[in-house]
Structure 1
Amino acid sequence: MLGARGLTIVWGDTPIYWAWRSLPQSRSPSLPLRVRAHAVLFISVCGKRSYFTFLRAYSFSTCRFSEVAELVSVCWLDIKGKIETRLLSPKTTYVAFLVFKFVRANQGFESLPAKALVRFVGDEEEKSSTVYLKQPSTPVTSEGLSGRFPQERKDKWMEVELGEFFNDQGDDREVVMQLMEIERGNWKHGLVVEGIEIRPKIHT
């Protein structure tokens, strides 16, 4: 899996657009600053006994990396990862997934189509697909939406398929995996990116 720090995120190093957060890798959570501030306010109003209920309600569960990227606010979403095929098994089809979550105060992703792309570097042909990062809130809002939707993982993170590729000979090539939403132009915030996972396709 490629962690968020190993990805190319447009404006990822600009604090007004993206923030790098430390998430719990143990039972002692390290929460974002604004959440800790909310927790202090929560204690002052409800008392310390309710503090741990607050933390459990916010919990992101365990993260495999020391840092994740939290979207502060952007209108141009562009996340890209690369991997060398020599690191993978030959004669194998792989599927790439964006692994993410939302903070509670998220906005701008409801029924918002994004473009997903998986291709070899140097290939002229680009086959993209449509994905959604949020499930529609009601069956009515899902009518007419065509594309892939996210699923919850066992580790309580979400994942959405970006696409697949066949590693033919396992030679030294690069695969690009990308998620983009650059057409709507609406402001989005509250997305937390853990990384991009590449795993062999399970044939059913």
Structure 2
Amino acid sequence: MNKLLLQKYWVDKNSNNCFTVYARDLLITWGGDGRYWRWNTVEDGDDRIDAAELLDACWLEVHGKFETAYLSPGTLYEVVFVVKLNAKEYGWEEPVEITLETPAGDKHTRKVDLMQKQRGKWVEIPAGEFRASPEQYGYMIFSLRQLSGQWKKGFVIKGAEIRPKTNK
């Protein structure tokens, strides 16, 4: 039996380092409390990982951090959360707040309306972008939260990808 992964590393076609920080390696408020969250093993390509499913809570808060020294210097990176809303979701009328803070102290915050996202499929929610620099090594911090106090359900998080930004 394969061990569940916390992070994944790969190299893209331009020889840039890329990473996924899976849900088990993120700090999820009440993530260890079975009343609010359920951990499900899912396939991610050839790998098995744990995804966290929000059962019912009035507070959503997910934080991650990553050491930028592992990234390819000079490369423009983006951080995206990989999430899904189940068909039987509720409580997402208020947008979620997405934040990315770089080692240089730059902070990018935006709001995303999950009601506009497709149900039952993994979708990517961009947190922000930054250029990896040898002069600015340190931790970047990324978060996703919705603190409206409204009860919500049906949100599933697989993790966050850190990869070169491409023009799509």
Asked whether the two chains share a fold, i.e. TM above 0.5, the reply is yes
Tell me, yes or no, if structure 1 residue 120 matches structure 2 residue 85: no
Match of 2:123 among 124, 145, 158: 158
Match of 1:178 in 2: 143
Cα displacement (A) at 1:133: 2.3
Match of 2:58 in 1: 75
Task: Tell me the SS of whatever aligns to 1:134.
Answer: helix
Q: Is the 8 A contact 1:89 1:170 kept in 2?
A: no
The normalised TM-score by structure 1 is 0.65
- Residue type of the alignment partner of 2:140: V
Q: Is the 8 A contact 2:62 2:143 kept in 1?
A: yes
Tell me, yes or no, if structure 1 residue 3 matches structure 2 residue 4: no
Cα displacement (A) at 1:170: 6.8
Q: Is the 8 A contact 1:63 1:194 kept in 2?
A: no
The normalised TM-score by structure 2 is 0.78
The CA deviation string for residues 112-147 of structure 1, in whole angstroms up to 9 with x for no partner, is 211111012572x53311112231xxxxxxxxxxxx
Could you tell me how far apart the structure 1 residues matched to 2:149 and 2:46 are? 30
Q: Percent identity?
A: 34
Shift >3 Å, 4+ stretches = 61-65
Q: 1:62 to 1:108 in 2, by over 3 A?
A: farther
Matches within 5 A, 1:188-199: 188-199=152-163
Could you tell me how far apart the structure 1 residues matched to 2:50 and 2:110 are? 28
Q: 1:159 to 1:175 in 2, by over 3 A?
A: same
Could you tell me how far apart the structure 2 residues matched to 1:78 and 1:114 are? 10
Say how many residue pairs are matched: 148
Could you tell me how far apart the structure 1 residues matched to 2:73 and 2:92 are? 37
Q: Is the 8 A contact 1:118 1:162 kept in 2?
A: yes
Q: 1:181 to 1:189 in 2, by over 3 A?
A: same
Q: Which runs of 5+ in 1 are unaligned?
A: 26-60, 136-149
The CA deviation string for residues 2-51 of structure 1, in whole angstroms up to 9 with x for no partner, is 1110111011111111111123x3xxxxxxxxxxxxxxxxxxxxxxxxxx
Task: Tell me the SS of whatever aligns to 1:86.
Answer: helix
Cα displacement (A) at 1:103: 2.1
- Structure number with the higher strand fraction is 2
Q: 1:122 to 1:113 in 2, by over 3 A?
A: same
Cα displacement (A) at 1:178: 0.6
Which is greater in Rg? 1
- Residue type of the alignment partner of 1:105: K
- Residue type of the alignment partner of 1:119: E
Matches within 5 A, 1:45-84: 64-84=47-67
Q: Which runs of 5+ in 2 are unaligned?
A: 1-19
